[in-house]
Amino acid sequence: MTRFALTFEFDGTPFQGLQRQKHGPSVQQAIEDALHRTTGEKAVLHSAGRTDTGVHALAMRSHVDLDKDIAPFRLMEALNAHLRPDPIAINHCEVVADDWHARFSCVGRKYLYRIVNRRAPLALARDRAWQVAQELDIEAMQNAAQALVGRHDFTTFRSVHCQAKDPVKTLDRLDVVRAEADFGPEIHFHVEARSFLHHQVRSMVGCLKLVGQGTWAVEQVGKALAARDRAELGLNAPPHGLYFVEAVYPAAD
C-alpha cells in the first residue's frame, strides 16, 4: 500500500462541492472515478478542506492509498486523462509517509475571495468572482476586518448547518486589498486560519461588503461578532467568488 499526495485545481461551477454528495456531482467523486479507471481500485480521497457548491480551488491538497505499483508522474498523467472534460487538473503528485494525512496533518488553510468592482456585466469572470457595481470603501472594510482577527466565537458567521462542535476559531489573517486585473478593479480578501466554520469566510466577506457600501458602520462588524447570533449576520457572500488557495503543513512534511 502506497500513500500518494495530490495537489489539484478545479472550477467549482459544475460541482456540488468537493466532498462526495448523494444529490449531484462532486470533485471527490470525479477523482475517485478516475482513480478506479486508472488502477481498478475503489480508493477514497481524503482532502485538506471542503468546499461548497460553486467554490473553486487553486491548490487543494489530498491523499489516497493505492495497492498498485505506479510512479507518481504516471499516476498524475493518467488521472488527468481520465478526468477530461471535467474542470479538474492534478498538477502535482508525490509519495508521502503512511502517517501523513491531508486533513489531520494540515496546520493552516488559506482562502481568497474576489470581488470585481465594476458596473459592466462580467463575461470572462462570470462565475469566478462576485460582481458589485457600487464603488466600495476598501479602507473601511480593512479597518472593520481587523475586529475579526484573533480567537473568537464565530457563531454569527457560521452556517446553521455547520457540523463543527465548537464555534470558537482563531483567525490569523483577514486583509482587504485592491488588485487591478484584466476584468476591471478587483477587491481581494486574503483569509488564513488553521480551520474554518461552514460559510465563515463568505459570511465575513458579506458583512464587510456592507461596510464598504456604507450600509454598515465599521463598528458594526465587531458588534455582530460579539452578539454570537446568526440572526445578526448582514449578508452571506455568494460562493463563486471564493477560492481555496493553499493547505499549509509543517516544514518537515
Domains in the chain with CATH codes:
2-96 (3.30.70.580), 108-248 (3.30.70.660)
Task: Quickly list DSSP for 62-112.
Answer: EEEEE-S---HHHHHHHHHHHHTTSSEEEEEEEEE-TT--TTTT--EEEEE
How far is Cα 118 from Cα 126, in angstroms, rounded to an integer?
A: 13
pTM score, whole prediction: 0.95
Q: Which of these is catalytic: 11, 52, 69, 127?
A: 52
Give every CB contact of residue 126 below 8 A, 6+ residues apart in sequence: none
What's the N-to-C CA distance of the chain in angstroms?
19
Q: How confident is the model at residue 223 (pLDDT cuts 50, 70, 90)?
A: very high
- Quote the pLDDT of residue 180: 75
**Mind listing the pLDDT tens digit for each residue in 178-213?**
997 766 789 999 999 999 999 999 999 999 999 999
How far is Cα 230 from Cα 50, in angstroms, rounded to an integer?
A: 21
**Mind listing the pLDDT tens digit for each residue in 24-47?**
999 999 999 999 999 999 999 999
**Mind listing the pLDDT tens digit for each residue in 121-176?**
999 899 999 999 999 999 999 999 999 999 999 999 999 888 889 999 999 999 99
Told to judge if 52 belongs to the known catalytic residues of this protein, a careful annotator would answer: yes
